Amino acid sequence: MQTFTQFLAEMSVSPSLNQLLHTLTKTSKEISHAVQHGALAGVLGATEQENVQGETQKKLDVITNDMLKTTLAEDSTVKGIASEEEDDVVAANTDGEFLVSFDPLDGSSNIDINSLVGTIFSILPAKDGELTQQQFLQPGRNQVAAGYVLYGPSTMLTLTTGNGVFMFTLCPESNEFMLTESNVIIPADTKEFAINMSNQRFWQPAMQNYIDDLLKGDTGVRGKNFNMRWIAAMVGDVHRVLSRGGLFSYPTDTKNPAKPFKLRLMYEANPMALLIEQAQGKASTGYETILDIEPTEIHQRVAVILGSRNEVDACLKYHG
Ligand code: AFP
C-alpha cells in the first residue's frame, strides 16, 4: 500500500502543490484527533457567536477553522484563504501560488451526536496583485485540486488533482494516510437518493415531480424501487455517492425566501462537483453545470444535484 507521500511523488504533482497538500493533510490529522476526543477534550457544544451567514458556530467549527487558518497562513504556497467561518478573505503570503477555500467542519449539527463530519477544501490558482475577494471569484473548473477529509469510523481523505479520484485511509498506528481506492468511478445508474424530505413542500415543481416519481418505485414511471439516505453532512452523503453511486441534492426551496439555496458554492459545491466529475458523475444546479458557474461572492449559495450520471440526467429532464 502506498503512503500519501509516495502517491504524490508518483502523480508528479508540482512541489508547491505537494507542500500545500501535506499542510492540509497534516492539519486534518490534528482535526481528526480533536474530533475523536469529543467530550473528553471539552470541544462539543455551541459558542455564543454566529458566522457571517447567521449560523450559530459550534466550538469545533471555531477550533478547526483556527487550526486550518493558522497552518495555511504559515504555508508559503498560500496567498489567501476563504472559509465558511470567516466573514472575508484572509491574506496569507503575498507570493503564494494558491488560494484555499474550505469548510473546516461540514455537518456541524452532527458534532454533538457523534455522527459524520468532515473538512472540505478547494484549491484555486492565485492571481497577481493584491488579495481581494475578486481573486477567489473563479469558476470551479479552475480548481487545481479539491477534496475532503471524512472523520468517521475511519478518517478518510478523498482527493483529486484533476487526474481521477483517490481515497486514502488514515492508519491509526503509523498516522499516515494510505492509498486504499484508486481511480474511483461512480456507477452511472443507481437506486439510491439523498435529499432532506422534510423540505418537500418548499421545492420547485420540477423537484417535487422528480421525487414523487422515485417514491412511486416500481409502480410508477421509473419502474424500479429507490432507497433513501440522509446524513445531514454533505461530506458523508457525497462519500457514499462516490463509494457506491446515488443522487444527492439540496435543491432550491422557499422555506426562507431570503435563502433559496443552502449549500455554499466555493467550499462545498465546487470541490464536490470536481470530485464527482472526475469520478465520471455529474453535478448541476438543475439549470447549470456547477463547475461553470461564475461566482459573484465568496459565500454564494447554490442549488445542488449531483451523483450518478444517468440519474442526474433523469432529474434534469424534469427541470426542462
Ligand atoms: P454546516 O455547513 O452548517 O455544517 O451544514 C451542513 C450542510 O450545509 C450540508 O453538509 C448538509 O448536506 C446540509 O447542511 C444539511 O442540511 P439540513 O440540516 O437542512 O438537513
The pLDDT, as a whole number, for residue 54 is 78
The pLDDT, as a whole number, for residue 43 is 78
- Would the pLDDT of 314 be above 90? yes
pLDDT digits (tens, 9 = 90+) for 149-162: 999 999 999 999 99
Per-residue CA distances from 263 to 16, 33, 57, 118, 304 (Å): 30, 27, 16, 15, 7
**CB of 213 within 8 A of CB of 206?**
no
The pLDDT, as a whole number, for residue 41 is 79
- 268-294 per-residue burial string, b: 16 or more CB within 10 A, e: under 16: bbbbbbbbbbbbbbbbbbbeeebbebe
Q: Which residue lies with its CA nearest to atom 2 of ligand 1?
A: 106
pLDDT digits (tens, 9 = 90+) for 71-130: 999 999 999 999 999 999 999 999 999 999 999 999 988 998 999 999 999 999 999 999
- Would the pLDDT of 53 be above 90? no
The pLDDT, as a whole number, for residue 55 is 80
The pLDDT, as a whole number, for residue 48 is 80
* Better-predicted residue by pLDDT, 58 or 272: 272
The pLDDT, as a whole number, for residue 221 is 98
Residue 175 C-alpha to ligand 1 middle, in angstroms? 29
Stretch 189-198: mean pLDDT: 98
Q: Is 181 flagged in the annotation as binding? A: no
Q: Is 170 flagged in the annotation as binding? A: no
Mean pLDDT of the chain: 96
- Would the pLDDT of 70 be above 90? yes
**CB of 157 within 8 A of CB of 5?**
no
Cell reading at 277: 466529475
CA distance 78 to 205: 43
108 lines ligand 1 (CB under 6 A): yes
Q: Is 106 flagged in the annotation as binding? A: yes
Mutate to test the pocket of ligand 1, among 263, 268, 270, 306 (most ligand atoms within 8 A of CB): 263
Stretch 230-239: mean pLDDT: 98
Strand partners, 91: 80
| Burial of 15 (C-beta count, 10 Å sphere; 0-12/13-18/19+) | exposed
Stretch 287-299: mean pLDDT: 97
The pLDDT, as a whole number, for residue 76 is 98
The pLDDT, as a whole number, for residue 270 is 98
| Burial of 114 (C-beta count, 10 Å sphere; 0-12/13-18/19+) | exposed
What residue segments make up the domains of the chain, in order of their start?
A: 4-181, 192-318
Residue 156 C-alpha to ligand 1 middle, in angstroms? 20
pLDDT digits (tens, 9 = 90+) for 3-51: 999 999 999 899 999 999 999 999 999 999 999 998 897 878 888 888 8
Q: pLDDT grade, residue 190 (50/70/90)?
A: very high
Stretch 229-255: mean pLDDT: 98
Which is the closest atom of ligand 1 to the Cα of 264? 8
pLDDT digits (tens, 9 = 90+) for 165-182: 999 999 999 999 999 999
Closest by CA to 20, choosing from 129, 101, 134, is 101
Which CATH fold topology does 192-318 show?
D-Maltodextrin-Binding Protein; domain 2 (3.40.190)
- Would the pLDDT of 211 be above 80? yes
Strand partners, 58: 46
**CB of 204 within 8 A of CB of 252?**
yes
Q: Is 268 flagged in the annotation as binding? A: yes
111 lines ligand 1 (CB under 6 A): no
**CB of 276 within 8 A of CB of 306?**
yes
Which is the closest atom of ligand 1 to the Cα of 106? 4
Pick the range with the lowest mean pLDDT from 34-48, 61-75, 197-211, 254-268: 34-48
Taking the CA atoms of 28, 33, 34 and 38 in sequence, report the sign of the dihedral they define. Answer: positive
Residue 166 C-alpha to ligand 1 middle, in angstroms? 24
Within a 13 Å sphere around the CA of 211, how many CA atoms are in the beta-carbon half? 23
Q: Where are the alpha helices (DSSP H) in 224-269?
A: 234-244
- 74-95 per-residue burial string, b: 16 or more CB within 10 A, e: under 16: ebebbbbbbbbbbeebbebbee
The pLDDT, as a whole number, for residue 226 is 98
* Total Cβ atoms within 10 A of residue 172: 10
The pLDDT, as a whole number, for residue 56 is 81
Which is the closest atom of ligand 1 to the Cα of 55? 3
**CB of 306 within 8 A of CB of 279?**
no
CATH number for the domain whose boundaries are 4-181: 3.30.540.10
